[in-house]
């Protein structure tokens, strides 16, 4: 199966996925890494791994949907069957979601449906919860809203800062994102409304 990974930043999740593919843990090919930021370190990681990269600049597109149409065109050209968002800081248009319905996944640094949005770690810390975590979910038309595939908890410790918590959240992300992708690629995930069941 061909997969594509969309990133905007550092790409530590991308790296974990690349490593998992290279080890044979995920039986798929990363056909493309696409970024909306030409300076994203994720692009360097992909280049180093010999993966094709594309950068698209939103300034070149009038509407969000035009941008997404361009992405979808590139994905289809490469027969991409699974779209993995890994720190991609753009909301997908309904057009994109429709074209890849139930085949787009995202990772969020909190236990959804708590702390949606771009500051999941900061928001959990500020709210004073004792346990937060990581969620892998399908992407639908609404932000951080689609059916949940996997979740893992991360304890918030006395004296945690955004940096120390981020580090432990990332450790968990780098474990469960490859796991979720593997399950998808092996056809073990079934969606029934908002519920996801996993075949053993
Ligand atoms: C991750 O924390 C992920 O949960 C969120 O964006 C961050 C991306 O980090 N969606 P990286 O670029 O994979 O290091």
pLDDT surpasses 90 at 60: yes
pLDDT bin (cut points 50, 70, 90) of residue 54 is very high
- Per-residue confidence (pLDDT) for residue 200, from 0 to 100: 84
Active site residue 108: yes
Average pLDDT along the chain: 97
Domain ranges of the chain: 1-100, 106-200
Q: How many helices (H) and strands (E) does the chain have?
A: 6, 9
144, exposed or middle or buried, with CB in 10 Å at 0-12, 13-18, 19+?
buried
Does 106-200 carry CATH code 3.40.50.170?
Answer: yes
Question: Which residues does a 6 A CB cutoff place in the pocket of ligand 1?
Answer: 7, 9-14, 86-87, 107-109, 173
Measuring from atom 7 of ligand 1, which residue has the nearest CA?
Answer: 87
Question: Which DSSP string corresponds to 151-182?
Answer: EEEEEPPTT--HHHHHHHHHHHHHHHHHHHHH
**pLDDT tens figures, 107-132:** 999 999 999 999 999 999 999 999 99
Ligand 1 center from residue 136 Cα (angstroms): 11
**pLDDT tens figures, 134-144:** 999 999 999 99
- Per-residue confidence (pLDDT) for residue 93, from 0 to 100: 96
Q: Which fold has domain 1-100?
A: Rossmann fold (3.40.50)
Ligand 1 center from residue 13 Cα (angstroms): 6
C-alpha to C-alpha distance for 15 and 13, rounded to whole angstroms: 5
- Per-residue confidence (pLDDT) for residue 72, from 0 to 100: 98
**pLDDT tens figures, 157-193:** 999 999 999 999 999 999 999 999 999 999 999 999 9
The answer to whether the CB of 4 falls within 8 A of the CB of 85 is no
Ligand 1 center from residue 1 Cα (angstroms): 23
Mean pLDDT value across residues 137-154: 97
């Amino acid at each position: 199966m061909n997969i594509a990974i969309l990133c905007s930043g550092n790409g530590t999740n991308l790296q974990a996925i690349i490593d998992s593919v290279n080890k044979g843990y995920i039986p798929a090919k990363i056909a493309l890494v696409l970024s909306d930021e030409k300076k994203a370190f994720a692009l360097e990681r992909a280049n180093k791994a010999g993966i094709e990269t594309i950068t698209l600049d939103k300034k070149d597109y009038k509407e969000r949907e035009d941008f997404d149409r361009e992405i979808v065109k590139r994905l289809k050209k490469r027969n991409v069957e699974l779209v993995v968002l890994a720190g991609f800081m753009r909301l997908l248009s309904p057009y994109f979601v429709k074209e890849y319905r139930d085949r787009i996944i995202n990772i969020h640094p909190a236990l959804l449906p708590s702390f949606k949005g771009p500051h999941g770690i900061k928001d959990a810390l500020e709210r004073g919860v004792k346990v937060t975590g990581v969620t892998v979910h399908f992407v639908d038309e609404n932000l951080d809203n689609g059916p949940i595939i996997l979740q893992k908890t991360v304890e918030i410790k006395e004296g945690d800062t955004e940096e120390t918590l981020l580090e432990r959240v990332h450790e968990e992300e780098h474990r469960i994102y490859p796991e979720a992708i593997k399950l998808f690629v092996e056809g073990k995930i079934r969606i029934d409304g908002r519920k996801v069941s996993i075949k053993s």
